[in-house]
């Protein structure tokens, strides 16, 4: 039995997913063409702040929250017709999360290269 490393998993995911840079993400947010989703843990957000306008769905709950039958959709908190743009601290978890969403059948999903680190040093407002 061969156990894959996290590097193997991320490398495989990167071959299958869409990665965007912070400028493209910023434009999508300005144009109201995406759901910007922060998948970091709550303690990370408490320590470093959050991105204005981002929804917080912790990585561990992503598939549960983005199940089409979940209250997130039923209450209109997320717009299924817009692209899902995910970010974590550095881009590893969000790459794996985007692959998982693609496996669920989502087509319009991407993640931000460099994650929160890139967002914090860009035009995005950190609150």
Query: Residue 120: pLDDT band by 50, 70, 90 thresholds?
Result: very high
Backbone angles phi and psi of 63, in degrees to 5: -65, -35
Distances (CA, A) of 6 to 3, 40, 60, 90, 93: 10, 17, 16, 14, 10
- In sequence order, the 6+-apart residues with CB closer than 8 A to the CB of 106 are 66, 84
Residue 19 included in any domain: yes
Residue 102 included in any domain: yes
Residue 125 included in any domain: no
- Number of domain units in the chain: 1
Residue 74 included in any domain: yes
Residue 126 included in any domain: no
Look-up: residue for tokens 């817009």? 82
What is the share, in percent, of the chain residues with pLDDT greater than 70?
99
Length of the chain (residues): 127
Tell me what pLDDT residue 49 has. Answer: 97
- Flag whether pLDDT at 15 surpasses 80: yes
Over the stretch 22-34, which tens digit does the pLDDT of each residue have?
Answer: 999 999 999 999 9
CATH number, position 41? 3.40.250.10
Over the stretch 67-86, which tens digit does the pLDDT of each residue have?
Answer: 888 887 767 778 889 999 99
Q: Domain of residue 22: give its range.
A: 6-120
Look-up: residue for tokens 């908190």? 77
Residue 61 included in any domain: yes
């Amino acid at each position: 039995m061969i156990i894959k490393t996290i590097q193997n998993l991320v490398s495989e995911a990167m071959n299958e997913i869409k990665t965007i840079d912070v400028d493209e993400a910023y434009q999508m947010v300005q144009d109201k063409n995406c759901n910007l989703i922060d998948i970091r843990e709550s303690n990370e957000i408490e320590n470093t702040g959050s991105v204005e306008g981002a929804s917080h769905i912790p990585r561990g709950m992503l598939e549960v929250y983005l199940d089409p039958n979940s209250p997130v959709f039923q209450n209109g908190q997320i717009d299924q017709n817009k692209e899902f743009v995910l970010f974590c601290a550095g881009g590893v978890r969000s790459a794996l999360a985007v692959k998982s969403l693609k496996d669920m059948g989502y087509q319009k999903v991407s993640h931000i290269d460099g994650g929160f680190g890139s967002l914090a040093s860009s035009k995005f407002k950190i609150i």
